[in-house]
Amino acid sequence: MSQNNDEKILIEAGLSEEQSAIYSALLDKGPLKAGAIASWTGIKRGLIYKVLDQLENMGLVSKKGGEGTVAVFAPEHPSALTKIMERKEKSLALAKEVVSFSLGNLSSKFNLLSGKPNIQFYEGKEGAMKVALDSLNSKTDICSFVDTDTLLAIYPDLNKEYSSKRVKNNVKKKIISTDSPIVREAVKTDDKNLTEQRIVKQKIHFATVVMIYDNKVSFITLDPKRNIGIIIEDPDIYKTNKAIFDYIWDTAEQL
């Protein structure tokens, strides 16, 4: 099917070849019956009605004629194309968001087949939140190393939102933290069924929040100049970090 310039523009706007050919013909010739449209465009009559229905739903074509009369199809104003493109942009944005959300899981399945670790890298506070929220899908308890004072200083809103969602999702967590009055005070309000905290009195600086769960180890930097989050999914890396956590957990002070 040869295309004129108008049809090429309509295709660029998102119409199919058949839709653009029919709408372009109606703009050129005015209202036409289906038979005439088939003659002008070379599109089979059976397909003509299907495409006309599509164009009518898009707001580009109107149908005139009642029962007992042959229907006539007329073009509507091309400004409807803008609305069509806007709807497609919204649909694409939603699809992009869904794919972005699912990419980690899809990558995980691919990497498991290839035997490679699945590594996801994020930047900024939004990235840090994505890393944190991933743990809320855990089927096992989350085990975490954290410098609570620094975390609250850098990510107060993130921590509040994350903690609220964790409680809502009923996800259990074990936390090893550096000792401080803030930590000891926070323990008093913890839901003991969901949160266990222990402290290390040695002067250890946790430069990242570390979370260990479901064959994953995630890291969120505690540097206001470097908001970086990483999720590594690998059974061996998970087992090693979990063993380290369990060893320190057994020797840490219970609060």
In a domain, 90, yes or no: no
The total domain count for the chain is 2
Looking at the structure, do residues 128 and 235 belong to the same domain, yes or no?
yes
β-strand pairing of 208-213 with 195-200: unpaired
* CA dist., res. 244 & res. 206, Å (int): 14
In a domain, 15, yes or no: yes
Q: What CATH number does the domain containing 122 carry?
A: 3.30.870.10
216, 231 Cβ separation under 8 angstroms: yes
Looking at the structure, do residues 157 and 250 belong to the same domain, yes or no?
yes
Looking at the structure, do residues 74 and 123 belong to the same domain, yes or no?
no
Looking at the structure, do residues 55 and 135 belong to the same domain, yes or no?
no
Q: What is the pLDDT of residue 81?
A: 86
Looking at the structure, do residues 154 and 220 belong to the same domain, yes or no?
yes
Looking at the structure, do residues 181 and 248 belong to the same domain, yes or no?
yes
Looking at the structure, do residues 159 and 220 belong to the same domain, yes or no?
yes
Domain that holds residue 14: 5-78
Looking at the structure, do residues 131 and 212 belong to the same domain, yes or no?
yes
Looking at the structure, do residues 40 and 164 belong to the same domain, yes or no?
no
In a domain, 99, yes or no: no
Q: What CATH number does the domain containing 30 carry?
A: 1.10.10.10
Residues of the chain falling short of pLDDT 70: 1-4, 66-68, 100-105, 107-115
Looking at the structure, do residues 144 and 212 belong to the same domain, yes or no?
yes
Q: What is the pLDDT of residue 196?
A: 92
- Integer-rounded Cα radius of gyration of the chain: 30
Q: What is the pLDDT of residue 93?
A: 82
Looking at the structure, do residues 15 and 124 belong to the same domain, yes or no?
no
Angle between helices 45-58 and 34-41 (to 10 degrees): 110
Count of residues in the chain:
255
Pick the last residue of a domain from 58, 78, 98. Answer: 78
Looking at the structure, do residues 67 and 176 belong to the same domain, yes or no?
no
pTM score, two decimals? 0.58
Q: What is the pLDDT of residue 96?
A: 78
* CA dist., res. 165 & res. 2, Å (int): 57
